[in-house]
Amino acid sequence: MTWDAVRRLGFGVLELKPWELWELTWQEFWEMYEGWQIRRQYEHEHTRYLATMMVNTSLGAPKRPLQAKSLYPLPELDGKPKATTAEEIEAFRQRISKKLGREIIFQKPIKE
């Protein structure tokens, strides 16, 4: 890891002041960074849980409530998500169009 990367992590991600960063040992620096990763993961889990609760309550009383993992996967916990095929996207578009009673058109992403 370069010094630039250490400074970016220390000043940016960990929000350390210069003298705080330079007083840390490597062990302390990595422990702080690992702690930040754990907090970030917890925040993502919490957001996913709250979003799932909101979706489930807005659906009324579904027979099978939506599970947080199926709302959106977290790569750290659920593994790398599989790529969505064009057929799956089209099937999803058709289901949404039917539920809303009008045609939904997805805009294709702009390629740079």
pLDDT band for position 109 (cuts 50, 70, 90):
low
39-76: b or e for each residue (b if 16 or more CB lie within 10 Å)? eeeeeeeeebeeebeeebeeeeeeeeeeebeeeeeeee
Mean pLDDT over the full length of the chain? 83
Average pLDDT score over residue span 32-45: 90
Average pLDDT score over residue span 4-13: 91
pLDDT given for residue 28 in this prediction: 93
Beta strand segments in 48-96, E: none
**pLDDT tens digits, residue range 50-100?**
988 888 887 776 677 878 877 777 777 777 767 778 888 888 888 878 877
Is the pLDDT higher at 55 or at 7? 7
